[in-house]
Structure formats: structure tokens, C-alpha cells
Amino acid sequence: MADKIPDRELKILKKLNTPVKIQDFLDKMPINFEPNGDTCMSPLSVLEKNACHCIEGAVLAALALRLAGQPPLLLDLTANKNDFDHVVAVFKKYGRWGAISKTNHAALRYREPIYKSLRELAMSYFHEYLDDFGRKNLRSYSLPVNLKRFDKLGWMSTKDDIFYIPGYLAEVKHFHLLNKNQIRGLRPADPFEIKIGKMTEWKR
């Protein structure tokens, strides 16, 4: 499938041969604020437009990981009705999980490969996954989804939107992070935490 990626884009992607290089590349890319409506751009469109939001960045990261010899895995982090879901590309190094993340926020970012399980990795986002009212909204994480399952749809070589990927992520099995008693007992974030949570990297 890689032979269907244009030479220019393939050269860029092959240079991103470690998780750190992939994350550094995504950090320099502006956020896609979707000014004309919802998008789920393919990696080739992301490279062309030089902008992406979380799942667009995660899919590009997964493609770069695949070209570097790792499986192209996504992890879906789901919130309650008060917040938005988040998607990261996950990878393993020395038997531990890490994550590559495209975000406009201060905390929902790269995770070093130090986590024994995907649950541990998901929980590392919990305390900073809050809204302007101090509510801690992260609730579940998915099974890792290998994007090889979409090869026949051409996700690596198309410039069309790839909404079928988030559609699948919404349907795959998820695991709860908290039980009802834990949710009821959550302490709201304090004003200083809320202030930090409002920090953004890219302005509209």
C-alpha cells in the first residue's frame, strides 16, 4: 500500500521514523479549526493543508508508525456529555505503551512509553481532562484499533475524508475507567487547575 503514496509525501513520512519525531512534527502543525464544517482529513490531505485536529493527527501518526515498522494503532478516549472525545496513536517500546497526540490543550499531549497497560495510559489523561466548570469528564477507553483493517478503503493514499475511521472507533468495545460511586465522589478541579486547563497553543 505504501507504493501508492506519492513520492513527496512518502519521503516526509519516512523521515518520521520514531514516535518523538512524529510528535515533534505534529506539534509544529497548526490546529484544524474546521472553519467550513466537520472534517476527518486523510494523512495526505493533512500534509497538503498543513493543519489537523486530534484524530487527523492520530491517523497521520499511525501511518508514520506503520512505515517505521510498527502497527498503526489508534486509541479512543471517550468523555461524558460535557466534553469531547480524544484520539491518540499508541505505540510500544521495551514492552511499555506510549501515545502520540495532536491537541490544542496543555495537558492532553504526548505520553512517554512507560505505561504497563492501555488502562494506565488512558488514566494518565484523567485529571487534566476537565472543562471550564472543573468537571473531570474522561470516562472510557477503547480497544486499540489497527488501521490495517481499512487498507481496502485506501486511507493511506486517498485525499478524501476518512469519516469511516471515527465511525468505527465509536462502535468498538470500550472499557469504563470509573464506577458510579467514584464518579459521584469526584472533587471538581480547583480554580488554578481550571485556569491551566483553558490554556491553548493555537489561536483561532
Domain spans, the chain:
2-197
pLDDT attached to residue 13: 98
- Side chain identity at 155, as an amino acid letter? W
pLDDT attached to residue 34: 97
- Residue pair 177/140 in contact (Cβ under 8 Å)? The answer is yes
pLDDT attached to residue 60: 98
Residues facing 105 on adjacent strands: 200
Choosing among 2.40.30, 3.30.1490, 2.60.40, 3.10.620, the CATH entry for 2-197 is 3.10.620
pLDDT attached to residue 204: 87
| Residue 154: C-alpha distances to residues 3, 30, 169, 181, 190 (Å) | 12, 25, 17, 44, 46
Backbone Cα Rg of the chain: 17
> Which residues does the chain have with pLDDT short of 50?
none
Nearest in space to 58 (alpha carbons), one of 80, 82, 36, 85: 85
pLDDT digits (tens, 9 = 90+) for 106-136: 899 999 999 999 999 999 999 999 999 999 9
pLDDT attached to residue 1: 59
pLDDT attached to residue 3: 63
Helical segments of the chain, H only: 7-15, 19-27, 43-49, 54-67, 118-123, 164-171, 180-184, 191-197
